[in-house]
Chain A
Amino acid sequence: MTKGAKIATGTALLALGVAACGGGGGSSSSGGGDNPRAASGTVYIRGCEPQTGFVPGNINETCGGTINDFVYSKLVQYNSDTAAPELDQAESIETTDNKVWTIKLKPGLKWTDGTPVTAKNYVDAWNYTAYSPNAQLGSFWFGDIVGFDKVNTQDPDGPDGPKEAPKPETDKLEGLEVVDDLTFKVTLTAPISVFRTKLGYSTFSALPEAFFKDPKGFAQKPITNGPFKFVQWDHNSQIIVEANPDYPGPEKPKVKKIVYKMYKDDNAAYADLVSNNLDFTELIPPSALAGDKWKTDLGDRAIDGQQGVIQTLTFPVYDKEFGGNADFRKAVSYAIDRKTITEKIFNKGRSPINGWVSPIVEGFKDGACGDLCTYNPAKAKELLAKAKSEGYTPPAEFPIWSNADGTHKDWIEATVNSINQAFGPDAGVKFVHKDMPTFAELRDTITQHKIKGAFRTGWQMDYPHIENFLNPLYKTGASSNDGLYSNKALDAKLHEADTATDPAQANALYQEAEAMLQQDMPAIPLWSYGLQAGTSKWVTGVKVTPFGVLDPLSIAIKEA
């Protein structure tokens, strides 16, 4: 750069500096001792653009789910410390047989348009979500309620086929019955012990009368019943919510307004967090995690925690070549050095697990995997030899698949190395990492059962219970049983647990079921996700829920 250019740049930067100091406004970081958040009562948290509008039954991702949980109260809420389910809008949820549930609402609950929250609001919302022509993403959640097959019809040849799904007979679930304004009854096809726990999932929210008049408009500007009310959605930019003055909960919001500011790049959000322009993010970028740099940057503003997400490696057990046999899969499990990988690749941001369930949920039991989830190269070799003697010949090259649009390359390569080293050069099988370009393509290949090799799987809990990590994943024909694993004894045990009326007994049965996965090892448990979050110096009391998002009632503005 020339001298002239330098002067020009310098002047420009100077001008900019002056402009920034003068016009910084609410989010200026160059102020003195006063807290700039105090006057407006507004806090800024990191967000991202929701995939669908604010209809609870149609949201299944975190960008929309986070705000959705700020603005909708459900029958049940999960304690932000222990993840235990507690009654929220429900005054009581009673059952004698886990099959017929009577739900009573608290009196005096209101929507933000002033209308009362009624039992009919719940029944109507559930019917709407379950009815297949409404094409709601959460419809399958109502599959346990009597009459679901009459309101939700499946496409006989899948969405690819030429045939269309038949129109359902009715749009009302037979198993839902309004008893009076505040009471409704739910009848399930079979007893389900965790039904009460499930009710905290967002799909089970109610919808006000206003929704049914204009579902599309409502999705963009919903009327809600939670601690915060919806104010404004500037697409790809921000979502604003304000404290709901009518919120009846014992704990009230401590801030007036939350601005959910959308970032495309986690590093940008992090830069804003470090310079106190952003008050909360639950995503610390890998560049800051390396060498615990974020802890140095943030000091006591760093939050270290746990969340209900686990990583597993799933085998296509339906495939003769790549499904392996039980001993081969066990050998692979023995060959993975989980401890070193979590320390080296994830900087201890993830911790090894020895079971198929997240350690933070109800019903978790340590050590369900036995010693199969410990690193033991000698045993790995031994079992590999046993697998071969039983007639299984592994392919020369055994891929582990992931999607290139996610950040999985590093750990899969480390895992592949660990396996190859443990097996030794004469194993006759070499593990390799392979990528598909996008998550959509990976999922498409997996669900069509065309995948040639093992693949990475992760499970984020829908509700904090051991059942959520077993039924959807390992029951024969379950919706997310990607490897088509099937074990009659396991199915029977899970059914027994589902139908147990005593919650403690149900948990014990689920634990027995989990331990049965040891026999076949259809998926290899790897590690559970930690949680790294941070706050600005302007806020205090911040709690992060076991779902890895901000507890909106906890955040408060620090006094100057």
Chain B
Amino acid sequence: MGRYAIRRLLQLVPVVLGTTFIINYMVWQLPGDPFAGRCGQRPCPDSYVTAMREQFGLDQPLLLQYWNFLKNLFTGNLGTDFNGVSVATQLGDAWPITIRLALMAVAFEAIIGIGAGVLSGLKRGGFIDNVVTLSTLFLLSLPIFVTGYLLQWVLGVQLHVIEPTVTDAATVPELIVPALVLASLNMAFTARLTRTSIVENLRSDYVRTAVAKGLSNRRVVGIHLLRNSLIPVLTFLGTEIGSLMSGAIITEGIFNIHGIGGLLWRAINGQDYTIVVPVATLLVLVYLISNLLVDLLYGVLDPRIRYE
């Protein structure tokens, strides 16, 4: 297990280097001078463009630019964005909020999604199963921004149950509705995945054996059935943490949450690559690490899965 974890960690190094290089290369190679659009219909003064290029190292060769990026990344010096504001501070302010939002969303996905999936899987064809099938179908057919605007309008503007937008503090109660919105699509996926997995495993030999041994229903479902059935669900949830971070762009926009998603959205619109690149890099890291954690958790859930 330990050696496996170390080997996996070492594997991350070339992946991180490769992805960051590609991100850097692609972003800075995009057509259009990032400073040309900053003066409206007037051309920007040459002195301004030259000064900005020099400041951000755009006048240097690509490999040197990448080397500087890596150096800065490892020393934690992310420099400033085009507006002259420290990138590290902005990331520092935005991350806790997005992590809170994403974790809450994952928690909703896990609790509601798995709960609904287990219930409907166990009572296949029953009333609950039909309700879950219908409601997940409904959720799956709604894009996130529709759910978001709908809840914001109904609960925030019409009923005054919540404030339509989240304050800077982004406290846990304020984030409940945005997290539900963010989780809505995957909650439905999780429920369906769990249901299928449960239905499949209900017919398997080990469940039959457990039942034949005379184990209580609770023990059969709780220990034997669930542990095995949750492996695909866990894989899904694990990779979700990464994509939720980036998926938060829409939700954070709708509810005006000042997290990573909003930061990335503004930076992409403003072609401010000084923010796009580190944020994308961090997203890659989160994605890789959550995947690693999921792989390690397999062994815990299913003793048949052994590393080495």
**Interface residues, chain A, CB within 8 Å of chain B?**
1-5, 8-9, 12-13, 15-17, 19-20, 24, 27, 29-30, 49-53, 60-61, 132-137, 139-140, 152, 154-155, 158-159, 164-165, 216, 219, 234-238, 263-265, 267-269, 271-272, 274-275, 277, 405, 436-445, 447, 457-460, 472, 479-480, 482
Given A1-B131, A49-B83: A29 and B36 interface contact (C-beta under 8 Å): no
Cβ-neighbour of A443 out of B36, B162, B163 (below 8 A): B36
Q: A20-B163, A60-B40 are in contact. Are A155 and B46 (CB under 8 A)?
A: yes
Instruction: Give the CA-CA distance A33 to B165 in the complex, in Å.
Output: 23
Minimum Cβ distance to chain B for residue A321 (Å):
22
The reply to whether B266 and A236 contact each other, CB–CB distance below 8 Å, is: yes
Most buried by B among A8, A154, A444: A444
B residues 8-47 near A (Cβ < 8 Å) are: 30-47
State whether B39 touches A60 (Cβ < 8 A). yes
Residue from A9, A15, A267 within 8 A of B173 (CB atoms) = A15
Q: Which residue of A lies closest to B256 (CB)?
A: A268
Nearest A-chain residue to B86, judged by Cβ: A235
Contact B173 A265 (CB under 8 A): no
Cβ–Cβ < 8 Å partners of B200 in chain A: none
29 A-B residue pairs with CB within 8 Å: A1-B112, A1-B132, A2-B116, A2-B120, A30-B160, A52-B84, A135-B50, A137-B48, A139-B48, A155-B50, A235-B85, A236-B94, A236-B263, A237-B93, A264-B262, A264-B266, A268-B253, A268-B255, A271-B156, A271-B164, A272-B163, A272-B164, A277-B165, A440-B34, A441-B30, A457-B41, A460-B40, A480-B42, A480-B43
The CA-CA distance from A405 to B30 in the complex, in Å, is 14
Give B248-303 interface residues, CB cut-off 8 Å to A: 252-256, 258, 262-263, 265-266, 269-271
Contact A159 B135 (CB under 8 A): no
Contact B168 A2 (CB under 8 A): no
Measured CB to CB, the nearest residue on chain B to A441 is B32
B53: Cβ under 8 A from any A Cβ: yes
**A20 and B162 contacting across the interface, CB-CB below 8 Å:** yes
Residues of B within 8 A of A30 (CB): 160
B215 at the A interface (CB under 8 A): no
A2-B116, A136-B48, A236-B258 as given contacts; A16 in contact with B173, CB under 8 Å: yes
Q: Is the CB of A235 within 8 A of B42?
A: no
Are A265 and B115 closer than 8 Å at their CB atoms? no
Cβ-defined contact, B256 with A263, below 8 A: yes
Chain B 157-176 per-residue mask, 1 if CB under 8 angstroms from chain A, else 0: 10011111100100001101
Besides A53-B84, A236-B94, A264-B252, 19 new A-B residue pairs in contact (Cβ under 8 A), listed by A number: A1-B131, A5-B116, A17-B162, A50-B83, A52-B83, A134-B47, A135-B50, A136-B48, A140-B45, A159-B46, A216-B84, A235-B93, A263-B256, A265-B256, A268-B164, A271-B153, A438-B32, A442-B32, A457-B41
A271 to B152, CA, bound (A): 8
B115 near A5 with CB under 8 A, answer yes
- Whose C-beta in chain B lies nearest to the C-beta of A266? B253
Chain A residue nearest in CB terms to B252: A264
The smallest C-beta distance from A279 to any residue of chain B, in angstroms, reads 14
Evaluate contact between A440 and B263: CB separation under 8 angstroms.
no
- In the complex, what residue of chain A is closest to B166 when comparing beta carbons? A268
Whose C-beta in chain B lies nearest to the C-beta of A478?
B42
State whether B36 touches A440 (Cβ < 8 A).
yes
Tell whether A264 pairs with B42 under 8 Å between CB atoms, given A20-B162, A133-B47, A237-B168: no
Indicate whether A13 sits within 8 Å of B131 (C-beta atoms), given known contacts A50-B83, A235-B89, A440-B32.
no
Chain A positions within 8 Å of B52 at CB level = 135
Q: How far is the CA of A136 from the CA of B33 in the complex (A)?
A: 18
Pair B270/A154 contact, Cβ less than 8 Å: no
Q: Which residues of B contact A159 (CB under 8 A)?
A: 46, 49-50, 53
Nearest chain-A residue to B180 (Cβ)? A9
Q: How far apart sit A51 and B39, CA to CA, in the bound complex (Å)?
A: 11
The A-contacting residues of B in range 118-175, CB under 8 angstroms, are: 119-120, 128, 131-132, 135, 149, 152-153, 155-157, 160-165, 168, 173-174
B41:A480 contact, CB within 8 angstroms: yes
The answer to whether B33 touches A444 (Cβ under 8 A) is yes
Complex Cα distance, B112 from A3, in Å, reads 11
Shortest C-beta distance, A284 to chain B (Å), equals 15
- With a cutoff of 8 Å between Cβ atoms, the chain A residues found around residue B271 in the complex are 438, 440
- A12–B176 touching, CB < 8 Å: yes
B177 interface hit (Cβ, 8 Å)? yes
* Chain A residues whose C-beta falls within 8 Å of the C-beta of B270 in the assembled complex: 51
Q: Is B51 an interface residue (CB 8 A)?
A: yes
| B112 contact set on A, CB distance < 8 A | 1, 5, 8-9
A52 to B39, CA, bound (A): 12
Kindly state whether residue B196 has any CB partner on chain A within 8 Å. no
Q: How close is A365's CB to chain B, nearest CB, in angstroms? A: 23
Q: Judging by beta carbons under 8 Å apart, are B128 and A135 in contact? A: no
B211 within 8 A of A: no
Q: Are B45 and A139 in contact (CB under 8 A)?
A: yes
Name the CB-closest residue of B to A314: B41
Which A residues touch B258, using CB under 8 A?
236-237
Contact (Cβ within 8 A) B33 A440: yes
Smallest Cβ distance from B210 to chain A, in angstroms?
Answer: 25
- Contact with A137, one of B44, B82, B254 (Cβ below 8 angstroms): B44
- B111 interface contact, C-beta 8 A: yes
Inter-chain contacts of B152 with A (CB < 8 A): 268, 271
CB of B65 closer than 8 Å to a CB of A: no
Cβ–Cβ < 8 Å partners of B31 in chain A: 437, 441, 444
Question: Smallest Cβ distance from B77 to chain A, in angstroms?
Answer: 17
- Nearest CB in chain A to that of B255: its residue: A268
Q: In the complex, what distance in Å separates the CA atom of A458 from the CA atom of B119? A: 59
B156–A219 contact, CB under 8 A?
no
Task: Tell me the bound Cα distance from A61 to B270 in angstroms.
Answer: 12
CA of A188 to CA of B217 in the docked complex: distance in angstroms? 94
Alpha-carbon gap, A238 to B167, bound state (A): 11
Residue picked from B45, B53, B90, B152, most chain A C-beta under 10 Å:
B45
Distance of A436 Cα from B269 Cα, bound (Å): 14
With a cutoff of 8 Å between Cβ atoms, the chain A residues found around residue B116 in the complex are 1-2, 4-5
Q: Chain B, 173-204, contact with A by CB distance < 8 Å: what is the 0/1 string?
A: 11011001000000000000000000000000
Chain A nearest CB from B116 CB (Å) reads 5
Q: Which of B33, B93, B161 contacts A16 (CB 8 A)?
A: B161
A236 touches B180 (CB 8 A): no
Q: Complex Cα distance A472/B168, Å?
A: 42
By a CB distance below 8 angstroms, the chain B residues around A49 are 83, 266
Find the A residue at minimum CB distance from B261: A264
CA distance A27 to B45 in the complex (A): 43
User: Shortest distance in angstroms between B283's beta carbon and chain A's nearest beta carbon?
Assistant: 18
Complex CA gap A50/B270 in Å reads 11
Distance in angstroms between the alpha carbons of A381 and B176 in the assembled complex: 61
Interface pair A17/B47, CB less than 8 Å apart: no
Instruction: Give me the 9 closest cross-chain CB pairs, A-B, nearest first.
Output: A441-B32, A440-B37, A135-B51, A271-B164, A440-B32, A19-B173, A159-B49, A132-B47, A265-B253
CB pair B162 A16 closer than 8 Å: yes
In the assembled complex, the Cα of A60 lies from the Cα of B149 at a distance in Å of: 33
Give chain A residues whose Cβ lies under 8 Å from the Cβ of B43.
443, 447, 479-480
For B269, the closest partner residue in chain A by CB is A405
Q: Complex: how many Å from CA A441 to CA B82? A: 17
Residues in A neighbouring B37, C-beta threshold 8 A? 438-444
Could you tell me the distance in whole angstroms from the C-beta of B39 to the nearest C-beta in chain A? 6
Q: Say whether B265 contacts A264, CB under 8 Å.
A: yes
A412 smallest CB distance to B (angstroms): 17
B161 lies within 8 A of A20 (CB): yes
CA distance A137 to B37 in the complex (A): 12
